[in-house]
Amino acid sequence: MLTSVDGIKGQVFDYIIIGGGTTGLVLATRLSENPSTSVLVLEAGSAHIDDANLLIPQQRWLFMGKPEYDWSFKTETQHHAKDRIFTWPRGKGLGGSSAINNLLWNKPARQHIEAWGALGNDGWTWEKFQAYSKKSERFVEPNHNKDVLTYDTNLHGEQGPIVTSFPPLISNLEADFRKAMEAHNVPNIQDAFSGEIHGTSPSLSNLDPSTHHRSYATNMYYQPVAGRTNLKVIVDAYVTEIITTKVNGLITATGVKFVKSDNTHTANVAGEVCLTAGTIMSPKILEMSGIGDPAVLRRAGIDVKLDLPGVGMNVQEHLYTGVTFELTDHFSGEQEVNTFDSLATNLGKQKELFASGKGTLNLNTVDIAFVALADISPELNAKVIASLQTEEKDAGLAAQYKIQAEHLREKVPSLEILLAPGPAKPPPQGWDASKKHVSLCFATNCPLSRGTIHVTSKDTLAIDPHVFENRFDLDTMVELVKYCRRLAQTPPLKGEGEGRLIEIHPGPDCQDDAAIAEWICNNVNTTFHTAGSCSMLPKELNGVVDPQLKVWGTHNIRVADLSIIPLHVGSHTQSVAYALAEQAADIIKASHEK
């Protein structure tokens, strides 16, 4: 239940969870299932319970960049990307980024999860991931577009908290997109949730078809159990430090310091502190608590309590942009093509249609093709493999690059192409009710560049993803632009005659590789999938947590969010976050049953 600072006075909790976001609320729900276990969640944002701005999909303009909902982090200047400073949106409030994400729900390749185990993490397997993913999911079969919205019920959960479904409205270009991909030897697959993701398949969304609302950590995990007396949640509580002492040579948490209404308070813990503040804030809180690289801590004026140089290192991010086209024909056969353009040109009508499951507030991307670099450019694939085998790097990165090279050789998908029903950025001539746009968006999901997230003082944070520091990340995106252009000229996606897709971004003047690279550097963006800053790796490989998610050198501090991913996955990360948190809850429970 939501409570005040006064509501926890004199209490000592079994668990304090720092961050009431996606993974934090999963942990809170599962750990409080035992009525004799006391759990406190400290969330820096507000509750946003039953907030229509978040529940009704596709209303990004109501929360993106708004301080009430979005942290709107800024990166350091990215010198390999035209000296740009990137904005990194992140959910601020209960539910974290599950409250503001783009709703897409898909899974990585089996090999991406198995790589975690290969890097020294026993117990992290595809089979376990699949089981915990199903535990988090309640899949609802579609009653429309069944020829396009294919699935295998055996691969989905039936009774989990998060409702997944296909969006009520689709673009109606999916069949043409799939045939064009097949012409380029990328198969159409029924359901990619098997772990065999190479091909084009329809992606789910975390949408509840009974309400057409967002299904996320707050309304599906937390709200049904909010009445538990052993579960307390304080919002607008900004954690500044984990209070520790040393017991038998191990750093041991005794409490958590937080600020609420400009006053500093302490919550006391007898059991464990679980850090679920996300890839950006979890390393910050560790460093603010004196846990990290001594050189980083000393520069920031923080006393060193635990020498752990991996904190804030190994940061990996998916990057995306898209080739945008104006549609000259608004029909595919007899079906009208649905796009997001009408949200900009006729929002009032779309709001009227929403409750009945119609209108473009109920539209979302469906088709995603997960492809290998060898599908896009065999030549570049060979160059990257050769480079990974010869490049000098530390032992931790060498272990990761060895696996990445294997994946490239085996054609494990590291890239994605989305059929997006709208422009990747606003049309240069402005919005026009008579025009519709689609984009072939693309993303690099297994980057070679590695970034850092470190405190620079007790009040400031330096987020440096090192975008395109490894040139092959940029070269790959150049090849993706060229591939998407070829795809747009492939029947039946092309349409009749001269074609129905008129390219407006980057546009016909952007042709050679250097021009495409410059356009990418100016337009590429985050996909909000940052991982790795508290990597689950052996300590000697710059790890931060062990396979039990316990911070190396500590007795009772764990991390359970996307920051622990040691090598990034080739999919969207929402389903991964939920599965990771479900497994974390069982790990924690099991450790206290011994």
Q: What is the per-residue pLDDT across 88-112, written as a single tens digit (0 to 9) for each?
A: 999 999 999 999 999 999 999 999 9
Structure tokens at 551: 């911070």
The mean pLDDT of 371-393, rounded to a whole number, is: 94
Residues 355, 27: Cα–Cα separation, whole Å: 32
- Torsion angle, alpha carbons of 451, 322, 52, 142, to 10: -110
Looking at residue 594, its pLDDT comes to 64
Checking if the pLDDT of 465 tops 90, the result is: yes
Looking at residue 458, its pLDDT comes to 87
Residue % of the chain over a pLDDT of 70: 100
Nearest CA to 547 among 535, 530, 529, 532? 535
Checking if the pLDDT of 392 tops 80, the result is: no
pLDDT band at 130 (very low <50, low <70, confident <90, very high): very high
Decide: residue 100, CB within 10 A, 0-12 exposed, 13-18 middle, 19+ buried: buried
Looking at residue 391, its pLDDT comes to 75
Q: What is the per-residue pLDDT across 415-453, written as a single tens digit (0 to 9) for each?
A: 999 999 999 999 988 999 999 999 999 999 999 999 999
Cα distances from 354 to residues 59, 207, 219, 406, 527, in angstroms, run: 12, 13, 20, 47, 26
Q: What is the per-residue pLDDT across 10-48, written as a single tens digit (0 to 9) for each?
A: 999 999 999 999 999 999 999 999 999 999 999 999 999
The mean pLDDT of 144-156, rounded to a whole number, is: 97
Residue % of the chain over a pLDDT of 90: 97
Q: Can you point out the beta strands (E) in 9-158?
A: 12-18, 39-42, 73-74, 87-88, 104-105, 137-139
pLDDT band at 393 (very low <50, low <70, confident <90, very high): confident
Checking if the pLDDT of 502 tops 70, the result is: yes
520 CB-near residues (< 8 Å, 6+ apart): 321, 474, 477, 478, 481
The mean pLDDT of 550-556, rounded to a whole number, is: 98
Looking at residue 459, its pLDDT comes to 86
The mean pLDDT of 362-379, rounded to a whole number, is: 98
Checking if the pLDDT of 135 tops 90, the result is: yes
CB atoms within 10 A of CB 157: 20
